[in-house]
Amino acid sequence: MTEVHTTRLEGAASDWKCWQPGVLPAWAVTFLALGLSTVGLAVLDSQLDAYGNSLGLPWFGGSLILGLGLCGTVLVVARTRLSVRFLLVCVTIVLGALAAMGLILLSGQDSLQSFDPSAPPLLGASIAACAALGLSLVCFLPSVRRILARVLPMQPDDFVHAISIAWTVQVIGWVVLSFVPFNRPLLYAMYEANVESLASSETATLVSLSSTLVWSIPTALLAIGFPLTRNLGGALARLGLGPVRWRGMSIGVGVGIGLAVFITVAEQWIVSLVAQTGLPMTEAELFEELASLPTSLVGAILLGLSAGTSEELLVRGVLQPRLGIVLANLVFAMAHGMQYGADGLIVVFLLGLLFGVIRMRLGLAPAIMAHAVYDIVLVVAHQWAT
């Protein structure tokens, strides 16, 4: 699908021109609206107290303010002077830290009492995150970006592309480095270290998935320049969302069902094959405890639609056109690295490659359909088996 490219603004005059038409107000309104929504949702959650302390409505607001706010800021800093860029990055870091502190406070006193930053899993995760952040800063070196541009569909002088590459390296590096201290997925170590907030009910899981779906849509639009550098039509074209064709959607449904059947049949063979490598494996009991898979058909459908839409929108829609199929899919696989071992990550990576090819050939909607149907069929099969 044809990309809709934007003109890069250069020079002080262009910077000021871009600054004038509403960039600063849009950035300010974004944080104001999302901050108010976080407060409102926190008040509502305190009144309802329906979903416990781990994944309640405040986390929904936190997802919004961190996702939309940071993406909106990236759009602004990409096309302003260096001094303003530095200022806005600092402001973003401060607001992000305050939002994280607010989420901890909103999660309840019980969670605060059980929160021990010196616990080995949390300390290991923090060290891994800092190391990954340091590694990602290398991507801001012009020479490194020029080398990457030889193999990736990116523009080495574009600040937005530099941000996306740095973020990619940070995500991949954090998950990989988190494996090192424990030789297993980080969430397993944290769960066994009595980080009680990790355990969630089925209702909390569905609330979390629904919130992810809600914030992923505007985040994806903001991340590709809507409404500042692209109109809605251009943004949809950039994401790969064109007219829905029944042929493509039918292929998506067929691929989803076929993949689910194949993985179900070949699961034991895949596990035994990967186990011979000595790599850390997915621990089924802990995974099911942490995942809290739905036990109803409605829950299975909600899970499939939420995960399929949000993940495909952000990975195959936003990242793949800039990072290519392989690197974008590596981000997709690593995003599952907190709860999957090597066997699960290999399966997720191979599935993602196929979803990426579908997105490239048929568009984003068939890829979303394939992913959603795959998840729904697997969850329903799990319900039937148990």
Q: Based on the fold, state whether residues 179 and 246 are members of the same structural domain.
A: no
Q: Are residues 345 and 245 in the same domain?
A: yes
Separation between Cα atoms, residue 282 and residue 339, nearest integer Å: 7
- 372, two tokens: 């959603």
Are 320 and 378 within one domain?
yes
pLDDT of residue 172: 85
CA dihedral 290, 126, 34, 72 (to 10 degrees): -120
Asked if 168 and 247 sit in the same domain, the reply is no
What gap in Å lies between CA 234 and CA 237, rounded to an integer?
Answer: 5
* List of the chain residues with pLDDT < 50: 1-21, 50-56, 58, 103, 105-113, 115, 196
| 165 and 245 fall within a common domain | no
Say if residue 181 is in the same domain as residue 248.
Answer: no
The verdict on residue 301 lying in a domain is yes
What is the reported pLDDT for 86? Answer: 63
* Residue 41 is assigned to a structural domain of this protein: no
- Contact between 272 and 279 under an 8 Å Cβ cutoff? The reply is no
Dihedrals phi, psi of 226, to nearest 5 degrees: -80, 135
Nearest-angstrom CA–CA distance, 87 and 185? 36
Report yes or no on 201 lying in a domain.
no
Q: CB–CB of 55/204 below 8 Å?
A: yes
Query: Residue 11: left if φ>0, alpha if ψ -120 to 50, beta else—which one?
Result: left
**CB-count burial class (<10 Å; 0-12, 13-18, 19+) for 265:** exposed
Give one DSSP letter per residue of 97-121, joined into a string.
HHHHHHHHHHT-HHHHHH--TTSHH
Same domain, residue pair 294 and 350: yes
Q: Which of 179, 194, 209 is the last residue of a domain?
A: 194
**193-to-91, 141, 189, 190, 292 alpha-carbon distances in Å:** 34, 39, 6, 5, 19
Q: Are residues 248 and 342 in the same domain?
A: yes
Residue 351 lies in a domain: yes
Identify whether 288 is part of a domain: yes
Residue 163 to residue 140: CA distance in whole angstroms: 8
Domain range for residue 172? 124-194
281 and 186 within one domain:
no
Are 176 and 256 contained in the same domain?
no
Q: How far apart are CA 30 and CA 24, in angstroms?
A: 10
Sign of the torsion angle spanned by Cα atoms 40, 44, 47, 50 = negative
In tens, the pLDDT along 26-74 reads 555 555 555 565 555 555 555 555 444 444 454 555 555 555 556 565 6
Boundary-marking domain end, from 140, 167, 194: 194
Residue 44 forms part of a structural domain: no
Tell whether 158 is covered by a domain: yes
Contact assessment for residue 255 and residue 29, using Cβ atoms and an 8 Å cutoff: no
Give the chain's domain count.
Answer: 2
Quick one: tokens of 246? 């029944």
Are residues 184 and 276 both part of a single domain? no
pLDDT of residue 43: 56
Task: Indicate if 341 and 247 belong to the same structural domain.
Answer: yes
What's the one-letter identity of residue 380?
V
Q: Which helix (H) or strand (E) holds 151?
A: none
Round the CA-based radius of gyration of the chain to a whole number and report it.
21
Domain-located, residue 357: yes
Say what the pLDDT of residue 19 is: 41
Count of C-beta atoms within a 10 Å radius of residue 336: 18
What phi and psi, each to the nearest 5 degrees, are found at residue 22?
130, 10
Write out the E strands in the chain. Answer: none
